[in-house]
């Protein structure tokens, strides 16, 4: 296991017991497939949790409980504010409660991740709870795969509104697509898929647990019978293999990806995105529909660039469905191009900061690879699907949870690192300031390192 840093600002980390309880509560409300109406607003345990937690979480971050403030914090708040503003601009005051609810899901999930994950043990805890959740859901998912019965939702049906099997989730290959506790099989599949690369790196030292965890995540991703989550798994496996074979030649991979995009664009009579839609689906007709949705949805976004169209239907022919299978496109359509740019800028700044973070432990560097690989795969997959409710909250939570790589005591960005004395690198240490003097003839790097992490 990774060595923990306990110097400088360790007091800002939540106590282990409180952190475990808070994260356990988050997973419980995340996976409850129930909702109810209150004053015309649909509420679920997750949404209620996020609404009540938004302000306290923001105050806790301002008080320093999540380490130093970062640019992504401001951009996430800006994105949430634009959600409220765009819905008010399109629908008036009547839709402000909906805007506040949607914004709180973003802000609360993000800052919950920022606060609860401050060290490597906290990061591992996410995926331990994730593994427990998959083990718990597996027998219900397996039963649903063969029978089509959403067991957990059926148990709550007499009391609450619950998820139900929609017309769009057709059975495939003689099996039924699994919802488990999510509003759509795609959401269930993405929740399972995001675990894969993280399970690979978290459980590297325990071979049997690693095989169990990864196999379970891949098998349950398949149960969604959806191409998008499976694409996310394939991308993770390919990137992990690249990492193993090239020792992390990520710039070379980026160049090859750009070259592949250009080649497809030159030799095909379709755009690379259209090629992706056509081949990354179980049903070719679904791919063509996605292309039509992208065409008319893009027109709607460009014709309403500032505040979008809100939750109004977008102009399209009758044969084009009203659902939009592209998360990024739907953000631009509903809330305008500024919302999309703010969100993308926040995620981009987050990724750059993680890549630049100096991590003193190979275990932490391995965690970074697994985290970035899983998140890149899922965020890329969102070009082919929309994500909402619990799956959306979990992805935003993971984005916030990744900030510990560059804001915790044992990690610093290159931009924040002072020049090393005598041209020698600073030694990152798990020890705080000590009255003991340095070894004669050697600089006391312990004190410099402790000051640097505060």
3-state secondary structure of 53: helix
Task: Please state, in angstroms and rounded to a whole number, the distance separating the CA atoms of residues 136 and 148.
Answer: 18
Beta sheet of 34-38, edge-to-edge order: 41-43, 34-38, 161-162
pLDDT in tens, 328-382: 999 999 999 999 999 999 999 999 999 999 888 899 999 999 999 999 999 999 9
When pLDDT is cut at 50, 70 and 90, the band that residue 281 belongs to is low
C-alpha triplet 199, 102, 35: angle, nearest 5°: 80
Q: Phi-psi region for residue 330, left (φ > 0), alpha (ψ -120 to 50) or beta? A: alpha
3-state secondary structure of 358: strand
When pLDDT is cut at 50, 70 and 90, the band that residue 421 belongs to is very low
131, 156, 162 from 159: Cα distances, Å: 29, 6, 9
pLDDT > 70: percent of the chain: 82
Altogether, the residues listed in the chain come to a count of 454
pLDDT in tens, 75-109: 999 999 999 999 999 999 989 999 999 999 999 99
Which residues does residue 412 pair with via DSSP β-bridges, in sequence order?
A: 358
Question: In this predicted structure, what is the pLDDT of residue 284?
Answer: 60
pLDDT in tens, 348-362: 999 999 999 988 889
Please give the structure tokens belonging to residue 272.
């690379």
Helix axes 272-279, 250-267, angle to 10 degrees: 90
Q: Which residues contact 393 (CB under 8 A, 6 or more apart)?
A: 30, 46, 50, 105, 109
Among 8-17, 126-135, 151-160, the range with the most confident prediction by mean pLDDT is 126-135
When pLDDT is cut at 50, 70 and 90, the band that residue 151 belongs to is very high
The distance of Cα 101 from the centroid of its chain, to the nearest Å, equals 19
**Cβ distance 118 to 67 under 8 Å?**
yes
Please give the structure tokens belonging to residue 344.
């993308």
Question: In this predicted structure, what is the pLDDT of residue 41?
Answer: 79
- Which is more confidently placed, 177 or 321? 177
Question: In this predicted structure, what is the pLDDT of residue 15?
Answer: 58
Mean pLDDT of the chain: 84
Instruction: Give the pLDDT mean for 446-454.
Output: 35
pLDDT in tens, 201-254: 999 888 999 999 999 999 999 999 988 899 999 999 999 999 999 987 888 888
Task: Please state, in angstroms and rounded to a whole number, the distance separating the CA atoms of residues 321 and 274.
Answer: 17
Task: Please state, in angstroms and rounded to a whole number, the distance separating the CA atoms of residues 382 and 329.
Answer: 9
pLDDT in tens, 285-296: 666 788 888 899
Q: Residue 2: is its pLDDT beyond 90?
A: no
Q: Which residues contact 139 (CB under 8 A, 6 or more apart)?
A: none
Question: In this predicted structure, what is the pLDDT of residue 165?
Answer: 86
Task: Please state, in angstroms and rounded to a whole number, the distance separating the CA atoms of residues 26 and 415.
Answer: 34
pLDDT in tens, 37-72: 887 778 899 999 999 988 899 899 888 888 899 999
Instruction: Give the pLDDT mean for 419-445.
Output: 40
**Cβ distance 143 to 151 under 8 Å?**
yes
**Cβ distance 103 to 80 under 8 Å?**
yes
């Amino acid at each position: 296991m990774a060595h923990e840093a306990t110097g400088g600002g360790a007091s800002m980390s939540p106590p282990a017991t409180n952190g475990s309880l808070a994260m356990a509560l988050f997973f419980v409300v995340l996976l409850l497939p129930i909702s109810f109406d209150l004053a015309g607003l649909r509420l679920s345990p997750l949404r209620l949790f996020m609404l009540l937690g938004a302000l306290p979480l923001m105050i806790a971050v301002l008080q320093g409980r999540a380490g130093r403030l970062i640019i992504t914090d401001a951009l996430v708040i800006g994105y949430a504010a634009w959600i409220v503003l765009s819905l008010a601009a399109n629908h008036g005051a009547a839709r402000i409660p909906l805007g506040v609810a949607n914004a709180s899901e973003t802000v609360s999930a993000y800052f919950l991740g920022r606060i609860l994950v401050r060290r490597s043990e906290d990061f591992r805890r996410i995926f331990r709870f994730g593994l427990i959740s998959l083990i718990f859901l597996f027998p219900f998912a397996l039963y649903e795969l063969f029978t089509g019965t959403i067991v957990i939702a059926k148990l709550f049906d007499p009391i609450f509104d619950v998820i139900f099997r929609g017309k769009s989730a057709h059975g495939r290959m003689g099996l039924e697509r699994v919802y488990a506790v999510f509003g759509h099989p795609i959401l269930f599949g993405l929740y399972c898929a995001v675990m894969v690369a993280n399970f690979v790196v978290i459980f590297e030292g325990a071979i049997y647990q690693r095989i169990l965890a990864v196999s379970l995540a891949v098998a349950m991703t398949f149960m969604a019978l959806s191409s998008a989550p499976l694409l996310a798994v394939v991308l993770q496996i390919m990137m992990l293999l690249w990492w193993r074979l090239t020792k992390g030649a990520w710039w070379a991979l980026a160049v090859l990806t750009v070259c592949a995009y250009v080649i497809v664009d030159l030799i095909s009579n379709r755009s690379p995105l259209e090629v992706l839609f056509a081949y990354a689906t179980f049903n070719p007709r679904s791919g063509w529909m996605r292309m039509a949705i992208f065409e008319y949805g893009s027109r709607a976004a460009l014709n309403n660039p500032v505040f979008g169209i809100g939750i109004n239907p977008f102009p399209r022919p009758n044969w084009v469905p009203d659902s939009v299978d592209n998360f990024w496109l739907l953000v631009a359509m509903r809330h305008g191009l500024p919302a999309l740019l703010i969100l993308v800028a926040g995620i981009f700044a987050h990724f750059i900061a993680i890549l630049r973070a100096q991590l003193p432990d190979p275990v932490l560097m391995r965690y970074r690879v697994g985290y970035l690989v899983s998140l890149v795969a899922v965020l890329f997959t969102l070009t082919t699907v929309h994500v909402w409710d619990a799956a959306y909250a979990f992805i935003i939570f993971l984005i916030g949870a990744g900030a510990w790589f560059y804001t915790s005591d044992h990690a610093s960005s290159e931009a924040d690192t002072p020049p090393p004395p005598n041209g020698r690198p600073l030694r990152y240490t798990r020890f705080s300031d000590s009255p003991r003097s340095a070894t004669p003839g050697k600089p006391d790097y312990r004190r410099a390192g402790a000051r640097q992490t505060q």
